[in-house]
Amino acid sequence: MKINTVSTFPRLIKEATKYGIVSNAVKNKLININHFSLTNDLNQNERIDDEQYGIEPGMVLSYEKSYRLFKKIKTLNPNTKFIFTSPKGIKLTNDLAISLSKERSITIVCGRYEGYDQRIIDEYCDLEISIGDYILTGGELAACVLIDSVARMIKGVVGNQNSVKSDSLMNSMLKGPVYTRPKIYKGKKVPNILLSGNHENIKKYLRETSLAATLNKREDLLENAKLSQDEVSQLKSTKQSTINKNIYIALVHYPIENIKGEIIKTSLTNLDIQDIARSANTYGINKYFITHPVKEQRMLAEKVIKYWSNEKVRKNDNTKHSSINKIIVKNSLNSAIREIRKKHGTKPITIATDARMVHNMTSYSTLRDRILNIDEPVLIIFGTGWGLPKNTLESADYILKPVGGYYEYNHLSVRSAVAIILDRLLGCKF
C-alpha cells in the first residue's frame, strides 16, 4: 500500500513511523510512505495560510497554495484516495481501518490553524476522518494514528494475524483480561482455566470474559455484536442486578391544562391503566402511580385493577396480572411523592415530561446516565389532557425534551409517550 502524507510538519509523522510494527512494514515493503510538505514549493515571502473571511478569528490554509501540491500528488498517483484529517469527519473505527487497508494508495491531508479553504476540500476530499471528539492543533498526530491503525490491518504487517482477529473492537466486543508468567505473583493467581489446557473450556471462558468486559465498559458496542439468545439473557440478568430498581412513574389527572391553558381534571382512560402498567413492567419500574382527586374515578381504577387481579384471569394470563400489580392509586401527585419518601427516607428525584418545548429541558442521554446507575428513588411524571401545568413542570428537578419525529405534530397518546420515554431512559440496547 502506498501512503502519502501532506502536512506542515512531515518530520513529526516520519518520526512516529520509525518504530515497531509500522517501521517493519516499511522495511518489508508492505507499505511505502511518502511525505509532502505544504511549505516546500512556496515562493519567497509566500505563505500557506491567510486570514479568514467573515467575523471569526484564525487563519485558513489557502486554496491556491494547497492546490499546487494536491495537483502534483494526483498527477503522480491518479488513483489515490484523499483523506482529510478533521474533527468534522467520520469517526475512525476498526472497521474503517479495515476498509482503508484494502486501498492501493491513500493521501492523508493534515490541517493546521482553522483547516483548509472549503473549496479545496470540495475539490479533492474523498473522505474526512476524525480520530475523536477533541481538537488537535494539527492533523499530523491524527495521520500517525491513521497510518498505525490501517497498517496493522494489512496482511503480513502483524506477525500473527489471529491476534488481530481477536483484538478488542473486532467483533463489536472488548477482549477480556490477559495474563502471563508467573502463575502466582504476590498471592494473585492466574485463573485456573487458562492453565487447564482444555481448549473448549478456555474458548468458553474467553467469550464470557469478553462479554463481561464489554457490558461493563462499552455496553454501546453490544448493539452490533453477534450474540446468542442465551448470551442476551445472561447479559440482561447481569445488568439487572446493577441498575436502579427504585424508578417510579406517575400518571397525573389533576392539575392538568386544557387546550386554552385552563386548569382541569381529566377522566381516567381504561387503556392507560393496563398499557402503562405493561410498559412499567417491561422497563423494571418499581410502581406506577395513577393519581386522581375524584373518589369515583379512583374507585373505577381499583375496579379495573381488581378485575385483572382476579384469580381466574391470573390463571389464564399471568403477564397481565404481574403488570397490574405495579399500580397504586393515589389522590394526588404529592401523596405519591410522600409514599416514595416514606419508603426510601428521601424525596425522589422528579422528572417531568411535556410535549411542548420549554426552556431548561434535559436530554435523554444525560438523564439515562444520571438515573440508571444510582440507588436513589426517581419519579417520572406524565400528564394527561394538554399536559402538566407550568408550576408542576417548574417544581420538577428535570424536564425531559418532547419525543417525536421530524414533524410539527407530536400529539401522542400518553401511553405511547410513556413507552417511548421509558425505552429511551431505561431500554436495553443489545
Name the site residues for ligand SAM (rule: CB under 6 A). Answer: 85-88, 110-112, 114-115, 130-132, 134-139, 142
Beta strands per DSSP E along 143-268: 184-185, 188-189, 247-252, 256-257, 263-264
Q: Which of 112, 152, 278, 415 is catalytic?
A: 152
Q: Tell me if residue 104 is catalytic.
A: no
Catalytic residue among 50, 87, 219, 231: 87
Nearest approach, Cβ of residue 251 and ligand SAM (Å): 45
Nearest residue relative to ligand SAM (C-beta): 111
**Closest CB 112 distance from ligand SAM, rounded Å:** 5
Tell me the CA distances in angstroms from 133 to 60, 87, 207, 215, 334, one per residue in order: 21, 7, 30, 22, 43
Nearer to ligand SAM, 127 or 264 (CB): 127
Pairing of strands 184-185, 349-352: unpaired
The rounded distance, in Å, linking the Cα atoms of 356 and 378 is 22
Which phi and psi (to 5°) does residue 414 adopt? -60, -35
Residue from 123, 128, 167, 219 carrying the catalytic annotation: 167
CB-based contacts of 114, cutoff 8 Å, min separation 6: 52, 56, 58, 59, 60, 61
Q: Is 119 tagged catalytic?
A: no
Report CA 85 to chain centroid distance, whole Å: 23
**255 belongs to the catalytic site:** no
Please say whether the beta carbons of 360 and 391 come within 8 A. Answer: no
Catalytic annotation on 10? no
| E strand or H helix at 35 | strand 32-37
- Closer of 112 and 326 to ligand SAM (Cβ): 112
Of 13 and 425, which has the nearer Cβ to ligand SAM? 13
CA 196: distance to chain centroid?
38
To the nearest whole angstrom, how small is the minimum distance from the Cβ of residue 348 to ligand SAM? 40
- Measured from the CB atom, the residue of 137 and 229 that comes closer to ligand SAM is 137
- Shortest CB 365 distance to ligand SAM, Å: 21
Shortest spacing between CB 132 and ligand SAM, in angstroms: 5
User: CA-CA distance, 288 to 306, in Å (whole number)?
Assistant: 16
Query: In terms of CB distance, is 89 or 404 closer to ligand SAM?
Result: 89
Q: Which three cell numbers stand for residue 231?
A: 448470551
Give the residue numbers annotated as catalytic, written as ranges: 87, 114, 152, 167
